[in-house]
Amino acid sequence: MIDVEVEYGATPELTADMIRGQLELLVHDEVFRSSKRSVSFLRYVVEQTLNGSADQLKERTIGIEVFGRDPSYDTNLDHIVRTAATELRKKLATYYVDERHRSELRMGLVPGSYIPRFTLPGQARTTASENGIDAEAAEPQLETQSAHIHFAPLVAAGESAAKRDSRSWVRRHWGLMLAAAAVAVLLAFDLLRQTSAEDLFWKPVLDTPGPVLLAVGDHPNGPPTLPAVEGNGSPITPVPSSDLSQTVPFGDTVTIARVVGALEARNKQVLIRRGNSSTFSDLREGAVVLIGAFNNEWSLRLTRQLRYTLALDPDQHLIYIRDAKNPSSRAWSWATNQPPVPVTGANSPKLQDFALISRIRDSETGHVVVVVGGLYTYGTEAAGEFLTDPHLMQAISQAARPRGGGKNLQIVLGTTVTDGTPGPPRVLAIAAD
């Protein structure tokens, strides 16, 4: 039995059955049905509290038990629990602001912790609102030091709602609405502030229902070519020259492993297929990640209308990243007539490779498409390192944040190749619209 104590008068007892009944109402409501993460989080903390283990509700424990993190995971780099708690608070605020739920048992999280608290309807919150006390500050604190959960009221219960005049009801109603709106704004701001640049980049992919298709470029068989017909004046899309072998360049393989790891760590299923065996119908099924640039036909096709595109200059034997605002520049290029295997050793020249990362809301497929590809395989490997390194991703934290009407994000990277190994990726340009 869970006791509820008030300063004046008697009150019904709050039981575990009442709490579990309210829990079921919450998790089956439309506010929560779209978020398995919030449902799992709320069920876990409520049951742990009812079982007398509220003192075990720590960030690391929740990360391990609810989100399947490794026991040694770094909570400073992985913010899954803090992000989920912020999301849960927001959904609870959205649920209880609805007039239909005013008479229900209230659930919330104690500020600064992950411990739930439960408030009977019409008591502490209503009375505090009538006396001008901040609703969040007025909510009772959860006592975890005994076998019972006690709720200490702040003021007397007062006169029943049926006897209050209409002006008081209107003031209270609008006060609650304004307070809920303020809480929602603060929670949204806090969520954006806490969310890492890596999470923000992948968010549109994670929000797309269903698994992610990861389409991998084929092993290149020489440089790309230009089609014989130039078309209607649009940018000419090079044609990849790929062999029919079942091999993938090593740098591309490293990037595949990194991207799959990043998505699966966020509970997103990934389907891996070869690029040339992926049809347009496959791309219509959901979010897509394309690995490879000039060895992946879909990478070439789906980026051709963007500011930064993959281009070919056959006269100068160059493949390069074209900037629509500076189309004559060949600053980000790779010579196609140089030896495929670089010279190594103490006196070997350093090579520069470049990569283009594009996250777009593609009008052809109707879904989010992420393209990760270097001019050569070194650039692709550097791009994979960039996308999965939280410290490197901080360079695009502002550009990755949602903005009014923003759909597309492009990042141009550079890397210095020494003895056949790419160095740390450098951000050369960012375009967001």
Specify whether 337 is located in the same domain as 210.
yes
- The Cα–Cα gap between 247 and 405 comes to 40
Separation CA 395–CA 430 (nearest Å): 10
Alpha-carbon distances of 426 from 84, 182, 290, 374, rounded to whole Å: 32, 40, 21, 13
Same domain for 151 and 223, yes or no, is no
| The last residue of a domain, from among 194, 216, 248 | 194
CB atoms closer than 10 angstroms to residue 143: 14
| pLDDT at residue 295, rounded to an integer | 85
3-state secondary structure of 380: helix
3-state secondary structure 249-306: CHHHHHHHHHHHHHHHCCCCCEEEEEHHHCCHHHHCCCCEEEECCCCCHHHHHHCCCC
163, 194, 225: which is the final residue of a domain? Answer: 194
Q: Same structural domain for residues 277 and 392?
A: yes
284, 365 contact by CB (below 8 A): yes
Query: Do both 378 and 294 map to the same domain?
Result: yes
The dihedrals phi and psi of 356, each to the nearest 5 degrees, come to -125, 125
Answer yes or no: do 223 and 162 share one domain.
no
User: Which range marks the domain in which residue 212 is found?
Assistant: 198-432
Claim to verify: residue 187 and residue 267 sit in the same structural domain: no
Q: Tally the domains of the chain.
A: 2
- Report which secondary-structure segment, H or E, holds 212: strand 212-216
Tell me which residue of 176, 24, 164 sits closest to 98, measured CA to CA.
Answer: 176
Cα separation of the two ends of the chain: 56
289 in a structural domain: yes
Give the whole-angstrom CA distance, residue 282 versus residue 297: 14
| Per-residue confidence (pLDDT) for residue 429, from 0 to 100 | 93
From the centroid of its chain, how far is CA 162? 46
Which residue, among 415, 389, 423, 411, has the nearest Cα to 197 in the 3D structure? Answer: 389
> Is residue 164 domain-resident?
yes
Angle at 15 between CA 158 and CA 154, to 5 degrees: 30
Same domain flag for 214 and 103 = no
Among 156, 174, 194, residue at a domain's last position: 194
- Asked whether residue 172 falls in the same domain as residue 270, the answer is no
What is the Cα–Cα distance from 161 to 99, expressed in whole angstroms?
15
Three-state SS for 119?
Answer: strand
Return the ∠ at Cα 294 (arms to 203 and 239), rounded to 5°: 120
Q: Is residue 151 included in any domain, yes or no?
A: yes
Residue 5 domain-assigned? no
Instruction: Give the Cα separation of 361 and 345 in Å (integer).
Output: 44
- CA 283 to CA 266: how far, in whole Å? 21
Residue 324, token pair as written in the block: 């629509």
Same domain, 208 and 178: no
- Measured CA to CA in angstroms, residue 224 lies from 118, 307, 314 at distances of 64, 21, 9
**One domain, residues 190 and 202:** no
Residues 5, 9, 14: CA angle, nearest 5 degrees: 40
| 390 within a domain of the structure (yes/no) | yes
Q: Is residue 170 part of a domain?
A: yes
Going by the DSSP 8-state scheme, the letter that residue 164 receives in this structure is S
**Residues 124 and 236 grouped into a single domain:** no
Confidence at residue 221, expressed as pLDDT on a 0 to 100 scale? 57
Read off the DSSP letter of residue 135: H
* Cβ–Cβ under 8 Å, residues 109 and 90: no
Tens digit of pLDDT per residue, the chain (433 long)?
Answer: 343 333 323 345 678 889 999 999 999 998 898 888 999 999 999 999 999 988 889 999 999 999 999 988 888 888 899 999 999 999 998 898 888 888 889 999 988 889 998 888 765 444 334 333 333 333 333 333 333 343 333 333 344 444 445 555 556 666 666 666 666 665 555 544 456 778 888 989 999 999 999 999 877 655 666 666 555 555 566 766 666 666 788 888 899 999 999 899 889 999 998 887 788 888 888 999 999 888 888 888 888 889 999 998 888 989 999 999 999 999 999 888 876 666 566 666 778 999 999 999 888 888 899 999 999 889 999 999 999 888 888 888 776 665 544 578 999 999 998 888 899 999 999 998 7
CA–CA gap between residue 179 and residue 93 (Å, rounded): 10
Confidence at residue 270, expressed as pLDDT on a 0 to 100 scale: 92
- Judge whether 11 lies within some domain: no
Whether 10 maps to a domain, the answer reads no
Same domain, 337 and 267: yes
Q: Cα(376)–Cα(14) distance, rounded to whole angstroms?
A: 65
CB within 8 Å of 416: residues ≥ 6 apart:
350, 351, 352, 422, 423
